[in-house]
Structure 1
């Protein structure tokens, strides 16, 4: 009987044939043996040469093709198929460093309470070949932390660490997570939220993944303006779906309140860019702030963090301020 793999690496992909081979090769460069690895590539309806490139690895990985259904569905398919003890996510345009899998597994093995182990990433801007390490606060590094404590910090400072190609959890935990297809673009954040709820996490003080910044198309065959509008609308629906899942799963009330504020402000920004923001959107944000944070000693800090004042100004006024700022900068 074949021994179960130690780790499962899910690679959801859509039209990233240009990068997929490098992502797979970075896993095989791991200090773990091939027998300990299970690579699951879930192709979300690619129309490029992804399938042709995967053929070179057909005996070394699991390749699943599906109709274009979004990143959340592709990730869920990968999780359902995974048989390793630990589960890693790798975006198809990113890379693992050779020591990543072993070091993360060692953390898990050292403490059964840990459900999420992460680390900083290296940002690699391929346009100028510039690399820098993701800045993570020192207080969360190399320390066992309460997931709820970390989430509260994230959403009070409008930041998020530990997602995407830095995400790892126990496979048994991932299989219990609610992952609706509608979460779509926000699956990375969704996974972090549900991995950290009522559990413990650890952030290694060492970059072990590479996030490639390349600016390739969000979708193929559309004009730049069409793609931008489609991405904004898709982002709005994805964020709303995460919030709906948090509410349905009776998530920690404080985190739900913070995520709701984030969602309302973000959607107002999206509507502003689309020319769809209304007075009701502004009233809704202020009403929610007063009802949920009026007794919070950090209310004014939250307003600054989420740029509430700017987001609730009328769109013509915002456009006027932007034009004024542009004119002032041109005239030195």
Structure 2
């Protein structure tokens, strides 16, 4: 019998986080005989694969598998490798430093079962930091939001056709989650929010998503260029100019893709600056 839910955990050198994640899986109110877990390991040297095998063997999953991959250094292809062999009706990706509350699977599965027009189910989350943390309440699903920001976390349950109709998680942008949800929205898939903090995101300096902020501008531009029909033509022009390092194409605020109107305003401002500089030079040479 095929599992109801397949969980893909992409890992690289994060074996010390796996016990807490597996504890959160063990606490799920959805029976684990309905759950398949695939750990896709990106060539770790810290014993992650052995740790995962020991932890997985102790729980009653319908299927448990560890796949050892050649190191790629990016989470997208690692997730894709796990998702490509997943058998579940619903798919979920997690990172080893994530955790889900006991009702996460049962609540998100119920949300999709009860809402056939939705293909993505996500929850609010708790962002844990070294000195405490905070509850983050996410907005209700609106595909247009993805044109400017990413309101979804990686821990979003999806119908398997969302992955089957996608290009998978990209290895061309450091914001591979955002790119994936853009693909889903472009394909017409809709989401539903479960308004409870059932996902725990552990915020620390070695998060891949945190490091992605160092290349924020180009990461956002690549999302636009790889999904150009989803974005305003002015925004596509901005992305091309930013990749070409044109002086006017600034990256805007971190984690935000500009709207078409923002790009137009930026172009007009740059044009005025150039006009003033040209006038100044002509006056100096007169």
Residue 68 of structure 2 aligns to a residue whose secondary structure is strand
| Residue of structure 1 in register with 2:98 after alignment | 94
Which of 136, 143, 153 pairs up with 1:151? 143
* CA drift at 1:110: 0.8
**Separation (CA, whole Å) in 1 of partners of 2:95 and 2:28:** 16
Q: 1:173 to 1:66 in 2, by over 3 A?
A: same
**Separation (CA, whole Å) in 2 of partners of 1:110 and 1:180:** 27
Which of 211, 231, 242 pairs up with 2:201? 211
Check the 8 A contact 2:169/2:180 in 1, yes or no: no
| Residue of structure 1 in register with 2:67 after alignment | 64
| Residue of structure 1 in register with 2:35 after alignment | 37
**Separation (CA, whole Å) in 2 of partners of 1:309 and 1:13:** 45
**Separation (CA, whole Å) in 2 of partners of 1:47 and 1:34:** 29
| Residue of structure 2 in register with 1:282 after alignment | 248
Any idea what the Cα deviations from partners look like across 1:139-172, whole Å, max 9, x if unmatched?
A: x2xxxx5xxxx232343xx43222212x121012
Q: 1:97 to 1:285 in 2, by over 3 A?
A: closer
1:6-17 paired onto structure 2 within 5 Å = 6-17=4-15
* CA drift at 1:173: 2.1
* CA drift at 1:258: 4.4
Task: Tell me the TM-score normalized by structure 2.
Answer: 0.76
Residue 183 of structure 1 aligns to a residue whose secondary structure is coil
| Residue of structure 2 in register with 1:252 after alignment | 230
* CA drift at 1:15: 1.0
| Residue of structure 2 in register with 1:271 after alignment | none
Which structure is higher in helix share?
A: 1
Instruction: Indicate the larger mover: 52-61 or 74-83.
Output: 52-61
Structural RMSD (CA): 3.5
1:107-126 paired onto structure 2 within 5 Å = 107-125=111-129
Residue 75 of structure 1 aligns to a residue whose secondary structure is helix
**Separation (CA, whole Å) in 2 of partners of 1:89 and 1:302:** 37
Check the 8 A contact 2:126/2:201 in 1, yes or no: yes
